[in-house]
Every structure is written in C-alpha cells, then in structure tokens.
C-alpha cells in the first residue's frame, strides 16, 4: 500500500533484503562452528607446502605410511609376502599395504596367524608382515602365536607332586593342528624350601639344555613351556634334574577346545611286559630315554627305537610289549586329549 504522496511504503523490508539477512545469519552460524577446523586446515596446508610428496603423505597418514615405506626398502624386490592382520580391525590397512609393497606378490590373511598356519599350500609366503594398530612390521609365526597364547592358561592350581633329583616328562609339545587347535605344555613349579633350587631341563631328542633357578618360595608358571624355555615349536620329551625338592605338575593342553591331560613325572621304568588297553583311534608312543638304540617287541613285532627317540605308530588293538628294556610306552587319542600310561613302575 502507498501513501497519498505516491512514496513507497517502508514499514516492511523488501523480500530480497530479508533473504540476505537470513543468509547472513546462516553463514555466521556455520562460520562460527567451522572456523576452528578451517583455521587448522589452512595451517596444515602451510605446513605441508615445503614438504615433498612422500613427506606430505607421511605427515597425513602417520606411522602406517612411514613403516610401509621402511618395509618396502627392507624387503627384496620380488619377495613374496604374507600380510597378516593382528585382528579383524586391521583388515582395511592390510588391503592398502598391497599397494605399497607392489610389485611383490602378496597373500592376505585377514583372520590372523591361525589362518596363516592353516594354509599348507606350496604358495604360502615365508616372509610375514604384521599389520597392527597404525603400523606394519616383519614378524615370525612363532612370535604371533606366542603373543596370542600368552594371554592365559587352561590348567589351574591342581595338586602338585613333590619331586627331587631326576625325573622324565614323557611328552611335551609346542605345535599346532588345524585351527583352533594348539598343543602346548603347561607347567607349575614351586620351591617351598628355604634355599634356591637349580633345575636343569633338557628337551629331547633335540638335546637342548636350559637351566632355571627358583628362589626360596618362588613359583614358575608356563603357558607354553617348550617355546618359553627353548624357543622351539616342536614335540619331544623332557629330562629334568633338580638340586633340591620342588612341587611340580605338567599338563599336555589343547588350547582350542581347552582340554588338558596331566602328565606323569617318571622316576623309574615300567615293568615288562607292558600292557595297554585297546583304544580306537589312538597312537602308540615309544620312548627310549637311553643313549643307545633299543628293539622292543610290540605284539610280537620287533620295533627299533633310536637313542633318546620318541616314536609314534598307529594303535587301536590292545598292546603288549614283551621285550625292550628302557622303553616307556603310552597311548594318546586326539579326541578329548586323552593319554593312557602303564600303571606299575619297575
């Protein structure tokens, strides 16, 4: 509406003026909330300007890019690489690592070390690169396995047996089956005396020796004794000598289903004949702890066991061993992680 003089009505703002006011308010609110981020981006741009392309990537991508570049320089140009993710969270960086390691052939194990261990193909790369957090590095299968197994034990505080002098543990292990099976030897050793005890532990038949000193009142607990003491992923048996009494227990453990079997600590040889019951699906183990070969007669069949050897063969029927001094015989069955030993020592 206009006045009588014909001049425009100024009581209401024009639509374009109102639009500009609304836009100004919106812009001011957005600028107020984004100004800190915009300032940081401008500062980052100035910081990146003098850097090389590699330097800019390292600044933006952090330890992942820096460690990937270092690894690229370290590895031979045509070395096949197994990329192993520590956990599923590292799946995406593992995929990007392929780019930085090109043109090397790579194989991705996004489900971790167990997936790598299950790969028995001829094409499995020997070189392992671990992706963890925001970095990458070379690693070994034994190292990755140990990092997982060290998180706990299956055995608890079962009754311990007092031992002194010399004894044998007939079988020990640090080996893996198909995922999730990992066979380890767990052990607890306690010194309840007032003096330190020295233990000499020998892994046979490898004949590798390790010496332990257990302080008065001390306690040693192992989640994977063979690897912890000897840094080996192997099967064998133990010869143990102590300078004084200790309370000890050893278990053969399958970490996958969390099954365990206590191991006898042997101070004498079993009497002949040795009789073992029928156990379907079992293996017969023959241990010769002496330094000379021994021929045992197993169900009438001669079987020679080499010096310090631990020999396995199929079983199932009842077993009778009628000859072969210095032979320790026992059965094992995978199902249930079960062992059967002769009852009476000689």
Q: What is the pLDDT of residues 30-46, one digit of tens each?
A: 666 666 676 665 655 65
Decide: 166 and 268 in contact? Cβ < 8 Å. Answer: no
Phi, psi dihedrals of residue 124, rounded to the nearest 5°: -65, 125
Task: Report pLDDT for 185.
Answer: 98
Q: What is the rounded CA–CA span in Å between residue 248 and residue 152?
A: 19
Cβ atoms 65, 96 nearer than 8 A: no
- In angstroms, what CA-CA distances link 94 with 65, 68, 119? 12, 11, 18
Q: What is the pLDDT of residues 139-175, one digit of tens each?
A: 999 999 999 999 999 987 678 999 999 999 999 999 9
pLDDT at 323 (0 to 100): 77
- Measured CA to CA in angstroms, residue 59 lies from 29, 44, 134, 215, 241 at distances of 31, 10, 13, 50, 57
Q: What DSSP string describes 88-131?
A: GGGHHHHHHHHHHHTTS-EEEETT-HHHHHH--STT--SEEEEE
Residue 303's DSSP bridge partners are: 296
Q: Considering the chain, what is the average pLDDT of its residues? A: 86
Residue 155 host element (H or E): none
Query: What pLDDT shows up at residue 326?
Result: 87
Question: What residue spans define the domains of the chain?
Answer: 20-48, 54-139, 154-267, 270-346
Return the structure tokens found at 331.
């059965």
pLDDT at 89: 56
Q: Given this model, what pLDDT does residue 28 score?
A: 63
Q: At what angle do helices 91-101 and 63-74 cross, to 10 degrees?
A: 40
What sign does the CA torsion over 155, 157, 161, 166 have? positive
Cα–Cα dist 179/109, whole Å: 14
Domain topology for 154-267: Hypothetical Protein Tm1070; Chain: A (2.60.290)
Residue 346 confidence (pLDDT) = 42
Low pLDDT (below 50) residues in the chain: 1-4, 345-346
Residue 333 confidence (pLDDT) = 93
């Amino acid at each position: 509406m206009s006045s009588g003089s014909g001049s425009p009505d100024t009581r209401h703002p024009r639509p374009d003026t109102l639009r500009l006011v609304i836009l100004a308010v919106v812009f001011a609110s957005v600028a107020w909330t984004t100004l800190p981020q915009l300032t940081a981006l401008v500062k980052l741009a100035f910081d990146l300007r003098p850097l090389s392309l590699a330097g800019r990537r390292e600044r933006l991508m952090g330890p992942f890019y820096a460690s990937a570049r270092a690894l690229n320089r370290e590895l031979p140009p045509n070395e096949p690489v197994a990329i192993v993710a520590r956990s599923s969270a590292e799946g995406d960086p593992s995929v990007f690592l392929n780019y930085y390691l090109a043109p090397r052939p790579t194989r991705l194990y996004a489900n971790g070390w167990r997936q790598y261990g299950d790969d028995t193909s001829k094409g499995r790369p020997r070189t392992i690169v671990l992706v963890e957090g925001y970095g990458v590095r070379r690693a070994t299968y034994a190292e990755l396995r140990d990092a997982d197994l060290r998180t706990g034990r299956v055995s608890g505080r079962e009754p311990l047996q007092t031992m002194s002098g010399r004894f044998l543990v007939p079988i020990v292990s640090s080996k893996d089956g198909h995922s999730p099976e990992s066979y380890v030897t767990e052990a607890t050793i306690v010194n309840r005396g007032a003096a330190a005890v020295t233990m000499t532990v020998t892994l046979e038949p490898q004949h590798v020796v390790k010496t332990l000193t257990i302080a008065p009142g001390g306690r040693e607990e192992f989640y994977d004794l063979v690897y912890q003491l000897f840094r080996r992923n192997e099967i064998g048996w133990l010869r143990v000598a102590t300078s004084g009494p200790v309370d000890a227990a050893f278990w053969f453990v399958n970490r996958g289903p969390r099954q365990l079997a206590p191991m006898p600590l042997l101070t004498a040889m079993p009497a002949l004949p040795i009789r073992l019951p029928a156990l379907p699906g079992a293996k017969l183990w023959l241990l010769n702890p002496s330094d000379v070969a021994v021929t045992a007669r197993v169900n009438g069949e001669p079987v020679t066991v080499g010096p310090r050897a631990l020999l396995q063969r199929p079983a199932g029927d009842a077993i009778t061993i009628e000859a072969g001094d210095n032979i320790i015989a026992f059965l094992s069955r995978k199902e249930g992680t079960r062992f059967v030993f002769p009852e009476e020592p000689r």
